[in-house]
Structure 1
Amino acid sequence: MAGPSTALSPVIAASTHWLARAYPGGESNTVAHTLSELQARQAVTVAAWLRYPTEIDAALVAIAGPGGSAVLDWKAGSEPEDEFAEGEGWRTWVDEVVVSWAACLLADPMLARRGVDAVIAAVPIPEPRPRPHTRRTSGLPSEFRRLLQPDARDREAATLLRHPDLLEPIAAMHRDTLLYLLDAEQSREPLAA
């Protein structure tokens, strides 16, 4: 993994927007909505970096396009109305696999930890860090704190976004591939009915 590419920005933005609209965290322009969207963005960022690990992968998806949100819209029941479809061009930049993987990460804290660990292990961190904040001494990357250790406000804001039953139709679409990628297949136990 060569590191994050700016070519993924449209995919990350559109996929985050899709998750935030499909599983809203409150009225727009509220703190709850913002906190929910931040958690979605962190999960989508990890998923996108796992899905497109090299700059070449990111450039190819920028050229070919990620596929759009049609299947996700159908599964989540969030298809846009025909009269509003003209303003929904951002949906073409939604990546179905990235959204599915992000849903898996949001619903399963252990899988989220594995995903972030894989990204941290593969993405070189330039020294000195361009950000004003250094890593915490606990080793938890501050970039993904809301995904890995949401506080009470984060959990309350993202009740729908982190609900495993609500995320299941989306997460199940590509969960097996993510489990294989993160070598988490054996550590998973079947859910009791």
Structure 2
Amino acid sequence: MLTDLSPLIAATARWLTVSYPPSGGALASALCEAQARQAVTVAAWLRYPTEIDAALVTMAGPGGAARLDWITGTERAGEEGPVDDWAWRTWVDEVVASWAAGLLTDPELAGTAVAALADGEHTPGTPPAEFRRLLAPDDGDRRAAALLRHPDLLAPVAELHLDQLVDRLGPGRALAA
């Protein structure tokens, strides 16, 4: 049974960077991708905290990007073109994308989420430094991912499943204003 979440993480990070593209050239693209991947990794590990959870989502499939595309206004008119152009979208996880969007726009939430991973099966004792671009982006990171980190642009996606993320992180956590 496959318990590796990497296809889900790669597809969901790709969806975020396609929907909220980087500003600039190749370096900006790489920095934006790194931030998206870190946010999606944290979200996926929180959403599927055990190997059993990961195995179940890889067997059943995460659901795809259709609703996210509709919400952001980027839905596909049809599945024209080669399968490789759209097949990756079936591996996008809506909840993980929503949680990642929340983490990218709320530094306090991101810190709480990374701290919550410490006791998980995916990363026993993972240092927060592994998620530096998510937790402490520098000016270059912010410029590269200006759209990806824009709270107003990501709000429709982030708000989809924000309550579930807050519940996962612990009751009583106040939502950022």
> How does the TM-score come out when normalised to structure 2?
0.90
Residue 11 (structure 1) aligned with residue 8 (structure 2): yes
Runs of at least 5 residues in structure 1 that lack an aligned partner in the other structure: 127-134, 136-140
Counterpart in 1 of 2:111? 113
CA separation of 1:75/1:148 partners in 2, compared to 1, >3 Å: closer, same or farther?
Answer: same
1:1-193 alignment runs, 5 A limit: 7-26=4-23, 30-82=26-78, 83-84=80-81, 86=83, 87-122=85-120, 123-125=123-125, 141-183=128-170, 185-188=172-175, 191=177
Structure 2: distance between partners of 1:146 and 1:184: 27
> How does the TM-score come out when normalised to structure 1?
0.83
Once the two structures are overlaid, the 10-residue window that deviates more, 46-55 or 74-83, is 74-83
Runs of at least 5 residues in structure 2 that lack an aligned partner in the other structure: none
The one-letter code sitting in structure 2 at the alignment partner of 1:48 is: A
Tell me the C-alpha RMSD between the 2 structures: 1.9
Q: Does the residue aligned with 1:147 lie in a helix, a strand or coil?
A: helix
The one-letter code sitting in structure 1 at the alignment partner of 2:99 is: W
Once the two structures are overlaid, the 10-residue window that deviates more, 61-70 or 117-126, is 117-126
For residue 7 of structure 1, report the CA deviation from its aligned partner: 1.6
Once the two structures are overlaid, the 10-residue window that deviates more, 84-93 or 162-171, is 84-93
For these two proteins, the number of residue pairs brought into alignment is: 172
Structure 1: distance between partners of 2:172 and 2:64: 28
